[in-house]
Chains A and B, each alone.
Chain A
Amino acid sequence: MRILDWVVMVVTIVTIVSYGLWRARGSDTTDKYLRAGKSMPWYAMALSIMATQASAITFISTTGQGYVDGMRFVQFYFGLPLAMIVVSMTAVPIFHRANVYTAYEYLEKRFDAKTRTLVSIIFLIQRGLAVGLALAAPAIVLTVLLGWPDQITTVVMGGIVIGYTVFGGVQAVTWSDFQQMLIMMAGLGTALIIAINLLPENIGLAGALTVAGAAGKLNPVTTSFSWVDRYNIWSGLFGGMFLALSYFGCDQSQVQRYLTGSSISQSRLSLLFNAVAKIPMQFLILLTGCIVFAFFTFIQPPLLFHPGDMARLQENAAYPALQARFDKAFAERHEAAAKLVHGEPVKAEFQAAHKELEATRKEAAKITGGNDTNYIFLHFVTHYLPPGIVGLVIAAILGAAMSVISGEVNSLATVSVIDIYKRLFRPLAEDGHYLWVSRAATAFWGIYAIVTAQLAKNLGSLVEAVNLLGSFFYGGILGVFALAMYFPKVSANGAFIGVIVGEAAIFALHFTGAASFLWYNVAGCIVVIVTGLLVSRLEGPKYHGDESGTGDPVV
């Protein structure tokens, strides 16, 4: 990093944090600290929701995913617009009318305290682990840039986020997210344009797409079906819709964003903006990865992108032979790619050289035991982008990371205070006490994130790890909310047992390897609903919960 990059990066980050804190001034009640006094306009919530999803993982790992696996990952988001419609039609008006701080508060109004507590604890476990992954990704950035150990970078990043989240609450989070998302869009657009401009003179965008297409990277729609195939149109539409339903309908880190809306209409608009903008954004990020792939077809990349792994490999006896094999495969692929771009029928030769090159990379990665998917884009940014732009892109990556971590820490603190502390331990304290506890809980979860981030370093593609982790729990949570909203005859015991059986089914599915993780949500949700209905039927008509939808139990 050059001085100009440092200046751009520091000024950008300081501006984002300062603006967020300035907008959060006066957060002196629990309502303002955790719910922004229900005053947020749709555009702030919309970008905050996008920023909370679009983490540093989106930048680092999704571009790497585009480079390694092509564009089929975009299908994962095909179900999202459908989910946004369902959430807008159902969850948004229900939560607004219930006037809740958390989604789980509604479960007590509909069922009972034990169901609310169980689902709150599941959320705390799942989101608590995910926040560690979200912190691990930017730590990778700083590790590569500064050469600091992972532990130090994690503490520094986590410390900054804890600082402004503890002080400003959800308003600081939302307004920082708003700016972070704008910076992210600017960073992404700039990186894509520069990647295209950096291609060799006679190649251009069309040439890059030809090369990426020949390598099988340009596959945004795959119609073949398999239960164990992670990304195809079917798993994207159905599995992706269920995952998005769980995420936006039942996950406090998202629900809290649109609960700050000044009206049902404002909250709906914020979600529908995501329905429209999310897929094109992911498409462009994956396309950037594919363009970077094409770039490295003409400019030789390192054998491994992770600098630490590469250094370790160089000390291994097998390195010289591997490097020679890699050089030969690259030269052959380069030659074939140049011919391919000029219309010569050498696709088979290109693919054979590409296969050999990838096999060499896999062998090298096997020796080091690492996975360098998350380092591909970083290598490109730090080695090939001009001064100033590197700083902007790194600021975008760090801003993205901060938006996710702050949002998650904020929601974890809200659930801890509202659903656990206030509900189970101190229900009648003064508002000032809960405000103080909310700040303390925010600090606690920030520190927790720093600790769990240490475990997330070698999980391969971080974006997949996050989605896999979510899939373990989202199906169960979605099932209980579906019971609450659509099945008025289901009893509290039915819902409670349904969640437990649903979670057991998801773990059984995972450990038997019967289906890809995108189907866990569908299966878990169905098991919860069926179990809930069965248990309620066996119990008889003694208690039907809130049939009126008002939160008043009907006995």
Chain B
Amino acid sequence: MKRGVQEEPPPFLGTWGRVYGVVIGYLISLITLFWFFGKAWS
């Protein structure tokens, strides 16, 4: 195995943990929006 492959920080938000957090927040917002969309038109 190559042990020399280094992890780099993401190009934004500083750490990968923060990037993952934003993705989870985005998913929750999307589901909430869809729920309201369904309620509004049904």
Instruction: Write the residues of chain A forming the contact surface with B, with a CB cutoff of 8 angstroms.
Output: 71, 74, 78, 81-82, 84-85, 88-89, 93, 96-99, 109, 209-210, 212-213, 216, 218-221, 233, 263-265, 268-269, 272, 275-276, 279-280, 283, 550-552
Please determine whether A99 and B31 come into contact, CB atoms closer than 8 angstroms: no
Please determine whether B38 and A221 come into contact, CB atoms closer than 8 angstroms: yes
Besides A71-B38, A82-B27, A265-B8, 8 other A-B contacts (C-beta < 8 A): A81-B27, A85-B20, A88-B20, A97-B5, A213-B41, A219-B42, A272-B19, A551-B1
Please determine whether A221 and B35 come into contact, CB atoms closer than 8 angstroms: yes
- Chain B residues whose C-beta falls within 8 Å of the C-beta of A209 in the assembled complex: 41
**Contact size range, B:** 20 to 34
Can you list 14 A-B contacts with CB-CB less than 8 angstroms, sorted by A residue number? A78-B31, A88-B16, A89-B16, A96-B2, A96-B5, A213-B42, A220-B35, A221-B38, A233-B31, A263-B5, A265-B10, A276-B26, A279-B30, A550-B3
* Bound form: Cα–Cα A213–B27 in Å: 23
How far in angstroms is the closest Cβ of chain B from A447? Answer: 36
Please determine whether B1 and A109 come into contact, CB atoms closer than 8 angstroms: yes
Known A-B contacts A85-B23, A272-B19; the reply to A218 vs B37 at CB < 8 A is yes
* Bound form: Cα–Cα A289–B37 in Å: 16
Please determine whether A97 and B24 come into contact, CB atoms closer than 8 angstroms: no
Contact for B31 among A216, A221, A550, A551, CB less than 8 A: A221
- Chain B residues whose C-beta falls within 8 Å of the C-beta of A263 in the assembled complex: 5, 8
Q: Quick one: closest B residue to A97, CB to CB? A: B5
- Chain A residues whose C-beta falls within 8 Å of the C-beta of B20 in the assembled complex: 85, 88-89
Please determine whether A93 and B7 come into contact, CB atoms closer than 8 angstroms: yes
- Chain A residues whose C-beta falls within 8 Å of the C-beta of B8 in the assembled complex: 263-265
Known A-B contacts A221-B35, A264-B8; the reply to A81 vs B41 at CB < 8 A is no
Q: Quick one: closest B residue to A208, CB to CB? A: B41
Please determine whether A275 and B1 come into contact, CB atoms closer than 8 angstroms: no
Contact for B34 among A212, A283, A550, A551, CB less than 8 A: A283
Contact for A84 among B10, B23, B30, B37, CB less than 8 A: B23
